[in-house]
Amino acid sequence: MSIDLGLRDKVVIVTGAGGGIGRGIALAMARAGARVVINDIGVSLGGEGGSSSPAEETRSLIESAGGQAAISTDSVSDWDSARKIVQCALDSFGRVDAVVNNAGILRDAIFHKMDPGDWKSVIDVHLNGSFYVSRAAAEPFRAQESGAFVHMTSASGLIGNFGQANYSAAKLGIAALSKSIALDMKRYNVRSNCIAPFAWSRMTDSIPASTPEEQARVERMKRMTPETNAPLAVFLASDAAREVTGQIFAARLNELFLFGQPRPVRSVHADGGWTPETIAERALPALRAGMTPLDRSGDVFSWDPI
């Protein structure tokens, strides 16, 4: 027996839907019967330029398959502009039922060489953008007492990676933002969850491939097409996930993961309190076994995509 996802005629905003993961999600939402607001400003991976062509291509693909879509070319990184994205859904289709915060840019650099401007740009798009669009959608969600947020986090933030202090900080911040939304808006039947997507896209095609080992790794990663993340996003936006909120998932080719969230793992106690010396002498040895290794995402996901 097939499950009715309840997405027919619902309205879903997908930011960064002009290509890659966002386009894959937008197309999948439309196939599930949703009407889609395609938000994309058509910039380069680093955030330069701007064109409506990527969004128009996504709309053409949706409409040629019989779906309905509208385009917003407003930026997520400005409050007034983000409000226009939500207004586009209301003007075009009369309501909004789900938001997928997917828009993003990269400005990678080793931490001690990172330009403050590149820090701010990435935070503005990923973290501030997720807040602005979510905050704008919170008003109609609250009024109708329903809604779903799906935010894109990253293993770079949840676990760690080289040369991505700005991106990692933003993506871990999004996980905390999602949890706060889930807590604050549960009373209005509004859900908020995260996906850490794994995909070969323009955000990963800068990975070095100069050695045979690196080239082999890249070829394995290319199997993880952007579209493999879409089913999880569609599920989380649907009525089938009505009881799922405040969670962090990952999609990796044919694998799905549920991430843990920070909780105390060990404790020590001292009558009368601690001094720096007793922490070094007694607390550190007791806590050391529970400390998290200095892993990167690739160390934790060390096997080939399945």
Q: How confident is the model at residue 205, as a pLDDT?
A: 52
Q: How confident is the model at residue 43, as a pLDDT?
A: 58
Q: How confident is the model at residue 304, as a pLDDT?
A: 84
Query: Which residues of the chain have a pLDDT value below 50?
Result: 47, 202-203
Q: Are strands 190-197 and 248-252 parallel, antiparallel or unpaired?
A: parallel
Q: How confident is the model at residue 212, as a pLDDT?
A: 75
**Domain regions of the chain by residue span:** 11-261
Alpha-helical segments (H) within the chain: 20-31, 53-64, 79-93, 116-123, 129-144, 155-158, 165-185, 212-221, 230-237, 276-278, 284-288, 297-300
Q: Phi/psi at 100 (nearest 5 deg)?
A: -110, 110
- Looking at the DSSP bridge assignments, the partners of residue 192 are 149
By three-state DSSP, how is residue 159 classified? coil
Token digits for 251? 């999609």
The contacts of residue 269 (CB under 8 Å, 6+ apart) are none
Q: Which CATH class is domain 11-261?
A: alpha beta
- Looking at the DSSP bridge assignments, the partners of residue 69 are 36
Q: How confident is the model at residue 207, as a pLDDT?
A: 57
CA distance 47 to 42: 9
Burial class (CB in 10 A: 0-12, 13-18, 19+), 137: buried
Residue 178 to residues 68, 107, 135, 221, 247, Cα–Cα distance (Å): 28, 23, 11, 28, 8
CA distance 244 to 6: 15
For the annotated catalytic residues, the residue numbers are 167
The contacts of residue 152 (CB under 8 Å, 6+ apart) are 21, 100, 101, 102, 104, 171, 174, 194, 195, 196, 197
* Number of Cβ atoms within 10 Å of the Cβ of 48: 8
CA distance 75 to 6: 29
Identity of residue 113:
K
Query: 154-188: string of b/e by CB count within 10 Å (b at 16+)?
Result: bbbbbbbbeebbbbbbbbbbbbebbbebbeebeee
Which tens digit of pLDDT belongs to each residue from 81-128?
Answer: 999 999 999 999 999 999 999 999 999 999 999 999 999 999 999 999
